[in-house]
Structure 1
């Protein structure tokens, strides 16, 4: 039987960051309003507020109950805060009886081992095991590179941590590492033990749940269902199900968990669900960013009133999909050579941003150095301050708007010739930007060795998802009633932002949207090029079921009559499609049509503007990578002739560079092939005329190789 809303508990004035169930079956909650509250059962009326626990100077991040003892028959209540403190309350008196201090940054989770022992984790990069009555940490678990988001105890005697460095670590009781488990592709946010003593679950910002064994057997199972970060996970006492929640507004119930799982999704009106808990009767409790605690039940006797249910449904329908940072935060920036970090130590940085996320509180500091990856800086700031990942893109945008964008740090020993940076930086203003003349005085050989032959596909990964979503909403056809079908739009936005296995319905919606009017379809193509990078989505989108439809649409937008923007985006889709095996196969089946249209419609057509030039040159480059990977001499030679025929059409420096790298990559594998006099003249002219050093260097390298082969001819 599906779950339904039973009760909505209102009393906190800000985000409910944590919920837990007490030994008596009550609910303990913690909030950004600095308060913890107790909610006790009231029969069919649900739960009522019965106590408030105060003492934190900053907001509460986690709550937990300690099992009963002779001295405290109701157990004890524990809270952890952003103020680095762990407070232990007597439920009877609502007073703090023990304060544990030792973490140097925010406390992120609490796990009760027994009635005198707890585990805590912190964004200081450690976890600790405490004897609460001795008020000391018996063991500190170290070895993490970033904040530790979660810690649990397994009855087999292991301590497990989940860290922002993407690694799950299993420790022995003495603090030594037993094993490290890798598989998550982003921060590990929460852990939950299973009751067989050694197995447990993990989840994180990659939107995936994984099942593990403490005996280092690798990932036993992966669960796909969320479209965004997962912040919380909890298992039922009988191990028949578990629940998860996070940044996608969904509470998900997972059953049949040791086989092919079944899922039930329960939508929330708030984008962020911070925490979940399960009551003894298997009702589910959530704490959310809208300040509400909600209880869901399968029992018909525990059901919200018609009025409450109707209000809940309406709130869900009206809820926005992405929190608007601009409404809740204010940012200021000042340039600084040396600023004080939070701990008082001086920290060198080029900029410090002051981010005001809460009225009445001092602004948070975000340190940024020129040349840093904006996404990594923003993610680090979010992790350190325990903020919602809904803020990520807006923080990145703010950094870019308020700092001069530089390609590289002068001290970097290697320069990525395609981005000008030490590695690809996602989210830059453009994927196709020319890096300009390199300021370094590198010789021909170091750079040439780093790019010839090119072995990896070059992708178009930069995106501003909110802007794409806004444009789709602006251009989408209306329904018969004049409304926008927001569910369909949300479905394809999800495809572009997560690597969750897509449903056939979602891909059918995407195919349908590709038939929008030509002047409206470009944001749909844009989300497609993002989605098709992901292995799970690529595999299905390029399958026999969808692949032919996809290519028919993409090739149609490369046709002579198509708009330049659609041609450009269609080519970008193909470039990104090639990054996965299924996409490579689809490219191979259609390469003749692709090359024909690329030449006659795109390169030799009108309006061959800069973005279109860069896209076309990138497709040539990726084609070179593909053919050299396959190592078919005939196809390599054919592609080499094709690239030479098109070189002179490129005028943009970045496009020229990518086309030249395509040429050089092919020539590395086919030095007995003919380099035409037209190509030699092109390379020579670029050496004398180009102001971009990487173009000059690449051209010199190819000419040097040609001369070494032909010097005795």
Structure 2
């Protein structure tokens, strides 16, 4: 057993986004697949010991999630490159040709994995449609067998030496099948999604890796004979290094490491400067290939003759150390390490003025796309505000200011902690009051917070991530305030945004002008009156922001949707049609949780209808996610595949207006409950990038878009997301200049006003960002002068209040 450590050998640049999959050939060539929608062939030159990108395959319409190389055969003397993508399609290329020779459309959802079959020209595929398939490429591509039995996405599929097929799934199980599709055995043992499989034929065993951070070794008979622990997060990939021996495994994961296992012992750990190590493969010369979230392919070796030079090793070590530091640094609850690196600037912008946030030299930096023909480029705007770090004196820097203490207070389970900064000698009541006001907490907690600060400030410095101190609310280390969020409640008063009955208030939130804003049961969020009115007199006196309640789209008749479903069901492909009784059961979720959970499977099956037929299915989802259980299930199915769908429908290339409108409405309604709120939050930057690239929308589309932006503003403020607020300060003015509908413009102005009012710590920086948009300032001035109907008067008065904040 070799005791030498792995060291960096080579770094391959070329992809602009995550490298999700890597595979190798018998000649030590590398094929990579990326979220940038391309796969690449890297040819190895053994004489010069280097790699050259010789081909880029670009036919996939969405990100490439899996790649495979089929070794040369008599029919295909150069071999074949196979890719699978988020567009549900498998493409087969001749290595030297950029365009696919075969297109295989057998799956109805993302193709997540590919692997070799035991016979020449045979291969396996697995998909988020819960199935795996066995293909033959001799002659024309043929699907020989479909393996159906998992209840969630398949993440890995392999064929064992004895010809059995093994599948691993997000349903936490592994199934062993005959090669003709008969189920032999279901293996349980992992406690979370099983992500990867590898056969070890010399020992008649196979290994599995899962999100539970464990690796399990299984006999071909299905007996679990060993479990390996060492990783601290999701394990994404596993490979067998035959150059060392059949008992040598290589694994990669979300803890930024690649681990080497020899005879069940973790003998080496390689740290990488990337958050997610998506894929790992082993070259025949003993080197390890990795594909990671920073878009870079790296090769590591134990052979001193192939180790990189000292300059490259030093740079790599610095990058690893920087990421470790960044992984502890946050801006508004967002880890700096979660943002893309400078490699994201390889990808050209879609429109002039598009903004991108990247991680650069330990900071978050904003870039904007400057459109100038062949000279178009990303131009640096500047550093993004925020952050938590120490200054030279050892004080904690929070929101740009040094503090003796920055306490971390958990307001609610599952929510990011709230920061409570305090300097010795400050007025403790003022510090407590500022904390309550900023975070929408009831004023009656003032004395408790004051007592908390006085007790804990006597201690040494308490790190922001340490909660082991007495909490002001319970005396323990965690607390949950007694108030309830009103985000998910359904009142009976009329919502001024939708005309529906979704708006409701709560007497303890929000805090406005340093005091709780009292409202009656029908208080209007803008005027404070007991019922909503659109008279110009009331509009002139209204206070339009800040607001803290999500705005939703609630009106709709499920029976009308059912009739449209029946009509379109007959037009859909037979494989995507369902029976009339099933159609009726699908409508159940519009009004609440279904009596049978299989209804959700039917909904996602219908979601695969063609773009011109799918809008009634989207309308069902819009209505259903208003209910907490439905919201949770739909947001979590197949690791949040609903967000992939929604991003597609609001993407630049999508052309069906109804789908775009409904996608925005679904996003608004998802915010009503925690699971949906979190999936919107986690995808907020992708959402805002798509929004800034959208073309012209009709009135309904503009209102839906404006409502999403308003909700995202509220969401960023609730999550104390300073980075998100900074991005919104650029996106909102840009969108406002493109809207033509007065109601939509009004909602964006309310979002901006709410942002200005509530992001007090960075108001000056946000105002500066907004004032830099000359087109927006011109539009704002125009709308401050316009009169007309009551809606325009409301917009004008809102603009005047916004101008007062800006100027």
Task: State TM-score, norm by structure 1.
Answer: 0.50
